[in-house]
């Protein structure tokens, strides 16, 4: 079992880090009392639910209980079945104060120090100093945007940053309404339509006969080449921006032939290039004759 303890200064970006960890397959818990961490790990193992990667965020919000983090960390380190790591994230005082002012959020120690942010930050930094010393990973986020911070986390925990992006490729028919969930929508109604070929009408783009008919066209071949070139350009930009899911949709009139053909071929292309892909043909069963 892999356990990541995410901690650090309030306002440094721990929420963004936890978002990334969830996107890449970790079960995430925020603000858990530190003394409950070993018990929760035992519960996960006994449940048999397949929770083998867990990220827990702990910080000064737990008050006096925060001191228990060292004992919990030692307990996990002594467990031969657990690989525990600590990620510590912080930022300089000026940046932390600016972030709290921009978001209009209160620092967790605001009341303790009567609204004096400088004193609250100094106290928190002192309380976290020992934890910083045992950290396996360290990020100073002062100069990072949220997207840049997420990219830093991906570089630490992913062999391939593209693993964090799930690409959903779907087909649909315009006659049933445009896909509203999509990030990229391509209209392929300009291509030869198998619907007007009697022997192909009752087949779909899942079948080779339809795909061959659609892709025999010179326009279809050229469009496919231009689309793969565009997608190759865009995907790294989406990954860099921190996007965890990208939906690419292809639409034709009925959602049975041309759109499915392109969704299938683009999906295969993306898989060949190492991306995680989900396929969905929204309207393939519409108006189906039994």
Question: Alpha-carbon distance 285 to 262, whole Å?
Answer: 17
Average pLDDT over residues 58-74: 83
Same domain, 153 and 186: no
Nearest one of 260, 174, 255 to 213, comparing CA atoms: 260
Torsion of CA 263, 228, 278, 289, to 10 degrees: 0
Q: Are residues 33 and 113 in the same domain?
A: yes
Do the domain assignments include residue 286? no
State yes or no: pLDDT of 289 exceeds 60.
no
Q: Is residue 64 in a domain? A: yes
pTM of the model: 0.67
State the Cα–Cα distance between residues 200 and 196, nearest whole angstrom: 8
**Quick one: 128 and 201 in the same domain?**
no
pLDDT at 51: 81
pLDDT tier at 290 (50, 70, 90 boundaries)? very low
Mark whether 72 and 181 lie in a shared domain.
no
pLDDT tens digit sequence for 104-149:
888 988 888 998 999 999 999 998 888 888 888 999 999 888 888 8
Which range of residues forms the domain containing residue 74? 2-158
Q: Is residue 185 part of a domain?
A: yes
Bridge partners, residue 6, by sequence: 57, 87
90: left (phi over 0), alpha (psi -120 to 50) or beta: beta
Sheet containing strand 137-140, strands side by side: 27-30, 53-57, 2-8, 83-90, 137-140
């Amino acid at each position: 079992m892999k356990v990541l303890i995410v901690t650090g200064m309030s306002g440094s970006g721990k929420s963004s880090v936890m978002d990334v960890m969830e996107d890449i397959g970790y079960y995430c818990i925020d603000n858990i009392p530190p003394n409950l961490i070993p018990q929760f790990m035992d519960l996960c193992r006994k449940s048999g639910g397949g929770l083998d990667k867990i990220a827990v965020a702990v910080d000064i919000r737990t008050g006096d209980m925060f001191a228990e983090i060292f004992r919990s960390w030692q307990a996990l380190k002594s467990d031969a079945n657990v690989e525990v790591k600590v990620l510590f994230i912080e930022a300089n005082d000026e940046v932390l104060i600016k972030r709290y002012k921009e978001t209009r959020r209160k620092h967790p120690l605001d009341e303790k120090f009567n609204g004096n942010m400088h004193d609250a930050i100094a106290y928190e930094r002192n309380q976290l100093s020992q934890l910083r010393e045992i950290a396996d990973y360290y990020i100073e986020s002062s100069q990072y945007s949220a997207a840049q911070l997420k990219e830093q986390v991906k570089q630490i925990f992913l062999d391939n940053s593209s693993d964090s992006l799930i690409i959903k490729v779907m087909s649909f028919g315009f006659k049933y309404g445009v896909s509203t969930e999509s990030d990229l929508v391509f209209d392929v109604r300009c291509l030869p339509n198998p619907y007007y070929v009697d022997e192909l009408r009752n087949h779909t783009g899942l079948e080779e006969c339809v795909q061959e008919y659609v892709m025999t066209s010179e326009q279809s071949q050229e469009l496919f080449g231009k689309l793969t070139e565009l997608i190759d350009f865009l995907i790294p930009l989406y990954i860099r921006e921190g996007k965890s899911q990208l939906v690419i949709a292809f639409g034709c009139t009925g959602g049975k032939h041309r759109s499915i053909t392109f969704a299938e071929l683009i999906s295969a292309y993306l898989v060949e290039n190492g991306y995680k892909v989900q396929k969905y043909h929204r309207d393939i069963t519409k108006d189906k004759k039994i």
